[in-house]
Amino acid sequence: MEAQNASGAYLTSNQVLARYSIAPITFYRWQKNPALGFPKPLVINRRKFFKADDVAAWERARAKVSA
């Protein structure tokens, strides 16, 4: 289930893993590599939440780079 607030939906780390069919170590590397520019999470009680709009924008930007 997606968390939601006034500014939009959020994805959990597990939802991001499923969205891209990647391993947790790959996701960790994406977050640690500043050259990739993966969106920064909102951290609540050591759990990470990513704005769905930011993830989609990152996806579009990565598609332009690889095209």
pLDDT of residue 4: 53
**Number of domains into which the chain is organized:** 1
Q: For residues 29 and 1, give the distance between their C-alpha atoms in angstroms, rounded to a whole number.
A: 25
* Domain assignment of residue 28, given as a range: 3-66
Residues 6+ away with beta carbon under 8 Å from 56: none
Please give the helix or strand (H or E) that residue 37 lies within, else none.
none
Cβ atoms within 10 Å, residue 7? 8
pLDDT digit string, tens, across residues 1-53: 455 544 589 999 999 999 999 999 999 999 999 999 999 999 999 999 999 99
CATH number for the domain that contains residue 37: 1.10.10
